[in-house]
Amino acid sequence: MPSSLLPIKISNLHLTKGDRAVLASVSLIIDDPGITVIMGPNGAGKTLLLRCLHGLIKPDRGQITLADQGVTGSRDRQAMVFQHPVLLRRTALQNLAFAAPELAKSRPQQLIDALASVHLADRADQPARMLSGGEQQRLALARALLTKPDLLLLDEATASLDPASVLLIESLVKSQSASGTKIILVSHDQSQARRLADDVVFMSGGQVAEQSPANRFFSAPGTPAAKAYLAGEILL
């Protein structure tokens, strides 16, 4: 079942830091289910756009709607996993219980099952911040999925992780997408984008330079900036 937060419409989004426009009149419509990957060089505005979508940053001007709702009205139907996971000073299991208190009371086995789904069942009573980097990220993803979001935002969620954690997270992301959750993923990893993306949004200089189906983007990018990026050139 497709996400009920589609279409996502972004209109003339503008954000400045100091005297620099870090998002410059960004307009974008995402209306297809599946996995959208946002790519682009460092400083392109990818993470800032994701944070605006999740309501963590308020743009200077512009509008975001998700299924004709504002960001605030859709926030409890979203989940976001950051590049560096934010975990409570509690055990792995208690982190999940905090995210889903009603579930912890009525169906605690589902929390154990969620840990098992990310291969952390044997870490249930371990302090979350003592887990390895890959384990912490897997726990953060399990916590996000417990809320059964209509929209899952992932910001470089597998950067610098071990291959086993990358493989597991990608598998969970694909499975969640197949179940109807809309996924928007920021990634620098072109190989990962090729494996996961249904469509690609390419950003450069705080703007959307290109948006197209993944197969078209990787085989025939339509802008010089995208061509240079895919060729491994340094973009300023």
205: left (phi over 0), alpha (psi -120 to 50) or beta: left
- Give the pLDDT confidence score for residue 233 in this predicted structure: 85
Contact call for residues 136 and 162 (beta carbons, < 8 A): no
Q: Where are the domains of the chain?
A: 8-43+61-230
Q: What is the DSSP string of 69-100?
A: B-HHHHGGGEEEE-SS----SSBHHHHHHHH-
- Give the pLDDT confidence score for residue 235 in this predicted structure: 74
| CATH class of the domain comprising 8-43+61-230 | alpha beta
Residue 1 has pLDDT above 60, yes or no: no
- Give the pLDDT confidence score for residue 93 in this predicted structure: 97
pLDDT tens for 162-195 read 999 999 999 999 999 999 999 999 999 999 999 9
Q: Which two tokens stand for residue 15?
A: 């954000």
Query: Which residue reads 């009920």 in tokens?
Result: 4
- Give the pLDDT confidence score for residue 236 in this predicted structure: 64
pTM of the model: 0.94
Which H/E stretch holds residue 202? Answer: strand 199-204
Using CB atoms within 10 Å of the CB of residue 148, give its burial: 0 to 12 exposed, 13 to 18 middle, 19+ buried: middle
pLDDT tens for 68-122 read 999 999 999 999 999 999 999 999 999 999 999 998 999 999 999 999 999 999 9
Confidence band of 53 (pLDDT split at 50, 70, 90) = very high
pLDDT tens for 130-143 read 999 999 999 999 99
| Phi and psi torsions of 29, nearest 5° | -125, 125
